[in-house]
Amino acid sequence: MTASTKQITNMEQLLEGIWKQNPVFVMTLGMCPTLAVTVSGFNALGMGVATAFVLVCSAGLISLLRNFIPKEVRIATYIVIIATFVTLVDYIIQAVSLALYDALGAFIQLIVVNCIILGRAEAHAAKNPPLPAVLNAFGMGIGFTIGLLALGCVREILGAGKLFGVSLFGASFQPWVVMVLPPGGFFVLGGWLLLFAWWAKRKESNHG
């Protein structure tokens, strides 16, 4: 009985980050990498997976060490743990795909200051045993990746007429170049948020 209730809570932990508390669309955290690297679907996917990896590893380690870290220096400890995993990811990406490494550039190392990771460490991993902490972090990571993909795909389709490097519309398509330039990032994310806000408002008025 206890096992089954635990299973449900674990499942909820996982789903929370994907939908109900999606880091990009609901909490609007981690904006800097979200907007900077999402000029194409491929970059967005790489960034999302890298962030998810750091998120899961640091959440697991912090959760394991949660009873040993003194309260006064906890933020500094979390930052050092996160920075360690980010350094690891930095070298892994460099070894696996040099093209991705060049495209993401300094933004891989900037994962350290992504508010989502420190936020999860402080709000969740420091208070929970490893399994729920890791599941929660994994959900958040997936949610973040979905958010990045939603931005990256829209920007690549509109701005370059391609999706994951495959041309969609043929030669007659005039690319909407502003979408792959910085302002496009703001516009597309603003558009998504507007869509969600409008949807929430409509649902609310239907119920009321």
Q: Answer yes or no whether residue 198 interacts with another protein by CB under 8 A.
A: yes
DSSP 71: G
Alpha-carbon distance of 17 to 27, in angstroms, equals: 10
Q: Answer yes or no whether residue 36 interacts with another protein by CB under 8 A.
A: yes
Q: Which residue, among 120, 109, 114, 9, has the nearest Cα to 59 in the 3D structure?
A: 120
Q: Answer yes or no whether residue 20 interacts with another protein by CB under 8 A.
A: no
End-to-end CA distance of the chain: 38
**Cβ 52 to another protein shortest distance, Å:** 19
Q: Which stretch binds another protein (CB under 8 A): 12-20, 48-56, 128-136, 196-204?
A: 196-204
Contact positions with another protein (CB under 8 A) in 59-88: 75-76, 79-80, 83-84, 86-87
Q: Answer yes or no whether residue 183 interacts with another protein by CB under 8 A.
A: yes
Alpha-carbon distance of 188 to 206, in angstroms, equals: 27
Compute φ and ψ for 194, nearest 5 degrees.
-60, -45
**Cβ 11 to another protein shortest distance, Å:** 29
Q: Answer yes or no whether residue 193 interacts with another protein by CB under 8 A.
A: yes
Q: Which residue, among 152, 145, 144, has the nearest Cα to 115 in the 3D structure?
A: 144
Residue with smaller CB distance to another protein, 14 or 24: 24
Alpha-carbon distance of 79 to 119, in angstroms, equals: 11
Q: Which stretch binds another protein (CB under 8 A): 53-61, 126-134, 155-163, 176-184?
A: 176-184
Q: Answer yes or no whether residue 185 interacts with another protein by CB under 8 A.
A: yes
One of 95, 106, 166, 171 touching another protein (CB under 8 A)? 106
Q: Answer yes or no whether residue 182 interacts with another protein by CB under 8 A.
A: yes
Any idea of the CA torsion for 87, 40, 177, 155, to the nearest 10 degrees?
A: -110
Per-residue interface string for the shown chain with another protein, residues 134-173, x marking contact by CB under 8 A: ----------------------------------------
Alpha-carbon distance of 29 to 187, in angstroms, equals: 17
Q: At a CB cut-off of 8 Å and minimum separation 6, what does 164 contact?
A: 40, 41, 42, 156
Residue with smaller CB distance to another protein, 13 or 22: 22
What angle do the packed helices 130-160 and 182-207 form, to 10 degrees? 120
Residues that bind another protein (CB under 8 A): 28-29, 31-33, 35-36, 75-76, 79-80, 83-84, 86-87, 90-91, 105-106, 109-110, 112-113, 115, 118, 178, 181-187, 189-191, 193-194, 197-198, 201
